[in-house]
């Protein structure tokens, strides 16, 4: 069963052109040029109950705008969305009780108060019963190892500790859908890992549907089997994370260690040379030419070691970001094989 259904969701922002200078400031009082920015362009997807989906894209791709529409913060210009059976931008009370949104660059906790007092405010807003509140706070603070910090002012906590408190505040009312926008931004490696482990455990035990945006591939690879890649406001990929590279054509990476230095130009006829320092080289080739290419390299060069690897997932995603801008076609080697 789908927890989230999105169909042709679109958001267009209006703004005005403002040129520098006093003369332009006066002219803008009488005639301003209106411009339009299509932040989200007919985005469609469905997410099942209990699924964790990575929502990826470069800066300005429309990720945060999409999450804000799905949480009812923004009203769309066109399209439809259904979250747990509700239209988000109608902002019905019953809907607001069933989701949470955490934005890594925005705080929901009161800066000068202990987190426990902000939790009490959330308890009152969501009308959480006393027993359920005590149980939830106890469980989450133990899982995140912050119980001893409940009565410390938020501004005195480290960034990682504050993010843990933000997650607890978002989960006090046991939401069925959780929107996470860069929850690990700026955190150290250990804090990132702790939050990933917590989210994985929470999803497994509560079956909460999670949409996660992050620029850290470790977050996505650790938590998400499926990813949606958005660029320039449109979906360019929706499928298994492990098959990202397949969507761009099956490619492999041959890593060479040579006995003595070889010029890069001599290797380019075999494929796309991605790295070369004389005695080491990385060459990207198509899977269909892999065997013939490896044999040719072994026969024609003083190869000490040769390994074959998949293209890194983060690189495949980066190419999806660029899709439509240019084509990266490695040199063909059909004429030499």
Residue at 18 is within a domain: no
Residue at 226 is within a domain: yes
Task: Identify whether residues 224 and 312 lie together within a single domain.
Answer: no
Task: Identify whether residues 225 and 281 lie together within a single domain.
Answer: no
User: What are the tens digits of pLDDT across the range 64-80?
Assistant: 999 999 999 999 999 99
- 277 Cβ contact partners less than 8 Å away, ≥ 6 residues apart: none
* Residue 203 CA neighbour count, 13 Å, CB half: 23
Task: Identify whether residues 122 and 58 lie together within a single domain.
Answer: yes
User: What are the tens digits of pLDDT across the range 19-37?
Assistant: 777 777 777 777 777 888 8
- Contact (Cβ atoms closer than 8 angstroms) between residue 207 and residue 51: no
Residue at 298 is within a domain: yes
Residue at 218 is within a domain: yes
Task: Identify any residues that bridge with 6 across adjacent strands, giving them in sequence order.
Answer: 45, 81
Task: Identify whether residues 188 and 47 lie together within a single domain.
Answer: yes
Task: Identify whether residues 190 and 211 lie together within a single domain.
Answer: yes
Residue at 234 is within a domain: yes
Of 243, 264, 299, which one is at a domain's C-terminal end? 243
pLDDT recorded at residue 232: 84
Task: Identify whether residues 291 and 237 lie together within a single domain.
Answer: no
Residue at 33 is within a domain: no
pLDDT recorded at residue 311: 75
Residue at 60 is within a domain: yes
Of 243, 258, 279, which one is at a domain's C-terminal end? 243
Task: Identify whether residues 214 and 139 lie together within a single domain.
Answer: yes
User: What are the tens digits of pLDDT across the range 252-278?
Assistant: 899 999 999 989 999 999 999 989 998
Residue at 300 is within a domain: yes
Of 243, 259, 288, which one is at a domain's C-terminal end? 243
Task: Identify whether residues 236 and 265 lie together within a single domain.
Answer: no
User: What are the tens digits of pLDDT across the range 193-243?
Assistant: 999 999 999 999 999 999 999 888 889 889 999 999 888 888 988 988 877
* Structure token pair of residue 243: 């098959």
Task: Identify whether residues 203 and 88 lie together within a single domain.
Answer: yes
Task: Identify whether residues 239 and 304 lie together within a single domain.
Answer: no
What pTM was computed for the model? 0.77
Task: Identify whether residues 229 and 254 lie together within a single domain.
Answer: no
Residue 29 class from Cβ within 10 Å (0-12 exposed, 13-18 middle, 19+ buried)? exposed
State the residue range of the domain holding 298: 249-322
User: What are the tens digits of pLDDT across the range 108-127?
Assistant: 899 999 999 999 999 999 99
């Amino acid at each position: 069963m789908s927890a989230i259904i999105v169909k042709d969701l679109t958001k267009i922002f209006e703004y005005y052109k403002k040129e520098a200078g006093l003369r332009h400031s006066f002219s803008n009082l009488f005639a301003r040029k209106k411009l339009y920015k299509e932040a989200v362009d007919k985005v469609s997807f469905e997410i099942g109950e209990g699924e964790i989906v990575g929502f990826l894209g470069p800066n300005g791709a429309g990720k945060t705008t999409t999450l804000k529409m799905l949480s009812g913060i923004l009203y769309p210009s066109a399209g439809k969305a259904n979250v747990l059976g509700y239209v988000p931008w109608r902002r019905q009370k019953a809907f607001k009780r069933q989701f949470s949104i955490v934005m890594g660059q925005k705080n929901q906790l009161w800066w000068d108060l202990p987190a426990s007092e902000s939790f009490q405010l959330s308890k009152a807003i969501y009308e959480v019963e006393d027993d359920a509140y005590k149980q939830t706070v106890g469980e989450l603070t133990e899982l995140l190892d912050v119980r001893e910090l409940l009565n410390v002012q938020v501004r005195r906590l480290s960034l990682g500790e504050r993010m843990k408190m933000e997650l607890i505040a978002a989960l006090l009312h046991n939401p069925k859908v959780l929107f996470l926008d860069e929850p690990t931004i700026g955190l150290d490696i250990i804090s990132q890992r702790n939050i990933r482990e917590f989210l994985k455990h929470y999803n497994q035990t509560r079956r909460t549907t999670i949409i996660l945006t992050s620029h850290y591939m470790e977050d996505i690879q650790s938590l998400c089997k499926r990813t949606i890649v958005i660029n320039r406001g449109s979906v360019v990929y929706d499928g298994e994370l492990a098959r990202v590279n397949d969507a761009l054509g099956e490619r492999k990476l041959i890593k060479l260690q040579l006995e003595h230095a070889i010029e890069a130009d001599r290797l380019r006829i075999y494929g796309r040379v991605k790295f070369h320092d004389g005695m080491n080289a990385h060459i990207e080739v198509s899977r269909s030419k892999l065997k013939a290419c490896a044999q040719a390299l072994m026969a024609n060069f003083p190869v000490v070691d040769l390994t074959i690897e998949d293209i890194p997932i983060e690189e495949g995603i980066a190419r999806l970001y660029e899709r439509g801008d240019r084509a990266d076609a490695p040199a063909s080697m059909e004429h030499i094989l």
